[in-house]
Amino acid sequence: MKKVLLFVAAVCVYASALVASPAAINFDNLPDDKKFEQLFLDFGNAYQSIRYPDFQHKDSKKEQLQAAKKLYSYLKNKKSANYDEKLLQLLAARCLYNYDQIKPKEVTALFSAIDKAYPECAEHHWIYGNFLVTAGNKIPDGYAELKTYMEMKNYLINDFFVEDYAYAQFICAMPFNAYYSLTNGGTIPEEKIRSKSLLDMIWNNIKESSAKEKYETEQVWKISAPEQDYHYVYSTMLGVSFPCKESWTMQLQPFGGNSPAICLLGLNDFSIDGNPVGISVLLMVYPESLYSDQFKNQLLSHMNIIKTESVEISSQTFTKYTFEDLSLYTDIREGLRGYAYSATINPGKWAGVRCEHPVDVWSASKKNNENAAEGTRYFVVNPSQNRLQEPIRLFIIVDSCNAIIKETDQLLQELFSKAIFD
């Protein structure tokens, strides 16, 4: 389960114009001279208008952009600026970038300098994360920066941060996580949510699922942006999230008619005496109401099962079948050896939240709009399917060989530690 965000009320009369700012700036540390106060006030009045890019009305925002320029220049030229002054400079830079007033590398350089000087502080991660999200081509990286801020703050945050965090999740094709954040894990009634427009966008991108309907592959399966060493292939409809590497082959198929949903991964991580050897991992998922035990029994009947046991994977109890066939793979592989895992999984309350991962919608939109003009960018966030409200049956079949079975076991242990079935 995701951590519930702990909200802290923020009261600051001096900063009233910046109350929706993503920066937790300590205003007591800002200059108290008259020139700065006027620059700060002008920027505060302009902030809401230039917080996000709006090129359609760029010409009408000249005064607001001028206010941001003046404040940015003042802080950039100030000697021995403290952390909170640097935060405010980074915030102004983020706004100026939104309208092509400064280059992205200038914002990144400023962030890097702050991060190097103040590694123990968290607030600059928030501002930079928002910059990356609005920059467009770094959306998952922006979400990662916002998440870093959350973790450094141990999820004890000011309530005005939540909307930006949920918006970043939404833009990363994570509407379930956005809803979870916006409602504080379901503890805040929807009628009390301040951002009704964001709530409406979230609900418009969550679709109910039915075992009686047929779905396209992209409705059932999604592939995440890279997270450390892995991507994730996941399905909020089926409550499945499984790690994979970009170098592996992948075949995806939705369920419909008489076919279960399928994810077939070809892994090329092994070698024997310098000879490359691959294994495969097949995930078969289907609504329990569509198939009987005959389907499972038919699959098992083709295997020479030598051992049956119970194992725990992602807090679910699986029956593990070890199978072997020495008449196959009779070369250096020393015979076929593999596993089949079977489980029936009931729908979890927050299955979508647990299974979702950030998606690089920039890359997806760029592929779908190769001839689109530069300038104003738009992203098509494909709707996510709600978890089927019935048990699903999951089959995992691992095809390996005796020569590398220990290495296979080690890899499976790592994969299963990252997998989610809910």
Q: Which of 116, 176, 104 is nearest to 142 (CA)?
A: 104
Say if residue 17's pLDDT is above 50. no
Read off the pLDDT band of 369 (50, 70, 90): very low
Read off the pLDDT band of 6 (50, 70, 90): low
Average pLDDT score over residue span 2-10: 56
Q: What is the pLDDT of residues 113-138, one digit of tens each?
A: 999 999 999 999 999 998 898 776 78
DSSP 3-state helix, strand, coil percentages of the chain (rounded to 5)?
Answer: 40, 25, 35
Q: What is the percentage of the chain residues whose pLDDT exceeds 90? A: 67
How many CA atoms does the CB half-sphere of 161 hold within 13 Å? 26
Domains by residue range for the chain, with CATH: 6-204 (1.25.40), 217-421 (no CATH)
Read off the pLDDT band of 14 (50, 70, 90): very low
Read off the pLDDT band of 23 (50, 70, 90): low
Cβ neighbours of residue 151 under 8 Å, at least 6 residues apart? Answer: none
Say if residue 228's pLDDT is above 70. yes
Q: What is the pLDDT of residue 363?
A: 63
Say if residue 85's pLDDT is above 80. yes
Concatenate the DSSP letters of all residues of 232-277 into one string. EEEETTTTEEEEE-TTSEEEEE--BTTB-EEEEEEEEEEEETTEEE
Q: What is the pLDDT of residues 58-69, one digit of tens each?
A: 888 999 999 999
What is the Cα–Cα distance from 315 to 320, expressed in whole angstroms?
15
Q: What is the pLDDT of residues 284-328, one digit of tens each?
A: 999 988 776 777 888 898 999 999 999 999 999 999 999 999 999
Say if residue 20's pLDDT is above 90. no
Q: What is the pLDDT of residues 160-209, one digit of tens each?
A: 788 889 988 998 999 999 999 999 999 999 999 988 999 999 999 999 99
Say if residue 282's pLDDT is above 80. yes
Q: What is the pLDDT of residue 208?
A: 96
Average pLDDT score over residue span 217-223: 95
- The answer to whether the beta carbons of residues 48 and 68 sit under 8 Å apart is no
